[in-house]
Amino acid sequence: MKYTGSCLCGAVTFEIEGDFDRFFLCHCSRCRKDTGSAHAANLFSSSASLKWLSGEDLVKTFQLPATRHSKSFCTECGSALPRKKEGGKLLVVPAGCLDTDILIKPYAHIFTGSKANWDNELEKIRRFDQLPE
């Protein structure tokens, strides 16, 4: 399978070739801070390859000291971007940065023991197709 993706400003573009092993929605406090949301939505692959098509020089990776937690992002717009972990063997891809459809569904919610106190029954609140007036 081949996937393409980009950052919000479009300066960074990339291609991923291969399959994803897992798709997790992580509710840990670090992922919530990374995303500013209820959870991070990350795809994981031990075999897919990542190729930067443009803007590789704009990609920065932050490693939280004394942890395994890291985040890659565009230095222009701050968008989350793919990163290699564990000695380059594991590719982690924020689902929202992909421009092509993802064929697998999330496998599990993880670290739910530390989820935000407001992250309950979100499927029950009102929905709007656009910004409400």
Give the bridge partners for 49, in sequence order.
17
pLDDT of residue 86: 66
Amino acid letter, 98? L
Q: Is the backbone of residue 80 left (phi > 0), alpha (psi -120 to 50) or beta?
A: beta
Confirm if 13 and 54 have CB atoms less than 8 A apart.
yes
What is the predicted pLDDT for the residue at 37?
Answer: 94
DSSP 8-state assignment for residue 98: B
Please answer whether residues 12 and 6 qualify as being in contact, where contact means their C-beta atoms are separated by less than 8 angstroms: yes
**CATH architecture of the region 2-116:** Beta Complex (2.170)
Distance CA 60, CA 80 (A): 10
DSSP-based three-state secondary structure for 70: strand
Residue among 118, 78, 122 at smallest CA distance from 97: 78
Domain boundaries, the chain: 2-116
Residues in the chain: 133
The pTM assigned to this predicted structure is 0.91
pLDDT tens, position by position, for the chain (133 residues)? 999 999 999 999 999 999 999 999 999 999 999 999 999 999 999 999 999 999 999 999 999 999 888 999 999 999 999 998 867 789 999 999 999 999 999 999 999 999 999 998 888 999 999 999 8
Q: Residue 15: its pLDDT value, please?
A: 98
The encoded tokens of residue 16 equal 């991923």
